[in-house]
Chain A
Amino acid sequence: MARVGVITFLGSLDDRDAMRAVGVVGGEAVSLWHGSTDLQGVDAILLPGGFSYGDHLRCGALARFSPIMGAVAEFAAAGGPVLGICNGFQILCEADLLPGILTPNHGQRFICRDVELVGEQESPWIGNRAVGTTITVPVKHGDGAWFHPEEGLDELEQNGQVLLRYAEDVNGATQRVACVINAAGNVCGLMPHPEHAVDPIIGSIDGQLLVGRLINS
């Protein structure tokens, strides 16, 4: 059974949900601590949502220097699958493991609701579904507008690094981008919360696609 490490940073709050989601898709969740450098031999890593370091400075800007992040960077460089959700996405962007940066929602409001996401690539991260397929996953963020300068943006699109786009403008993200991967394709990040969409009793189970990728890679 694939072992998925879920990192708890100071201020993580979705680590328990993420661990449960890993179990729902058939993996074994392993709790990892931000202050350690030991990944305990896991097969994949999940950086959960939350408000690490109280979102001080910039979201994720301080957590990216946590001791465990050096090991995460090495794991990612070696091709290991890494998924960052919400604050985890912010941390991966600040750590330059993913392109862009997350900035305050343009509408200046915290947004908490289900959103529709459109698949832009036929990627294993989203179950290899056909381009244009939509999935429904909740968002809950105040600083979720993914930003990327004009320069290099076309290249990202051409490389197939934009995986999901918001069906409608949710937070002001550049080109409505909701989910990106690195050039190698093994690191993925998004603001919506797939770990909150894995159980039919509370609605969509589309989140199983993204979390499931961690145990099928």
Chain B
Amino acid sequence: MRVTVLVRPKTGIRDPQGEAIGRSLGGLGYPVSSVSAGSIFDLEIDTDDLKEAERLGTEMAARVLSNDLIEGFEVIVG
């Protein structure tokens, strides 16, 4: 079952990657005032159980894929 984990920097956390991208987009003339850069993880989990997939996705997101000090995450199942 496909589980997608979105990881984003928490509000107020310095994000040099987003800043660099934002500056470049601004330099190209786009009216972009801020960019926040995160990560997407598409996981194929070996289960057909929706709840189990969500539980495992959430556990992996919290334990490995994100760090609670600087990032938040969202788990999308299916």
Contact = CB atoms under 8 A, between A and B. Distances in A.
The bracket for how many chain A residues form the interface is 10 to 19
Contacts of B67: 58, 61, 94, 101
A147 B69 contact: yes
B19 to A, nearest CB: 7
B64 A101 contact: no
A57 B39 CA distance: 9
B34 interface: no
Interface in A48-106: 57-58, 61-62, 65, 94, 100-101, 103-106
B17 to A, nearest CB: 7
Nearest to B66: A58
Contacts of A101: 67, 69-70
Contacts of A105: 16
Interface residues of B, number: 11
A155 to B, nearest CB: 15
Q: Chain B interface mostly helix, strand, loop or mixed?
A: helix
Contact of A147 (B13, B19, B65): B13
27 contacts: A57-B64, A57-B65, A58-B67, A61-B64, A61-B67, A62-B64, A65-B64, A94-B67, A100-B69, A101-B67, A101-B69, A103-B13, A103-B14, A103-B70, A104-B16, A105-B16, A106-B14, A106-B16, A107-B16, A108-B16, A108-B20, A147-B13, A147-B14, A147-B69, A147-B70, A148-B69, A172-B14
Q: Chain A interface mostly helix, strand, loop or mixed?
A: loop
Interface in B2-52: 13-14, 16-17, 19-20
A183 B10 CA distance: 26
Interface of B: 13-14, 16-17, 19-20, 64-65, 67, 69-70
A102 to B, nearest CB: 10
Nearest to B19: A108
A103 B69 CA distance: 11
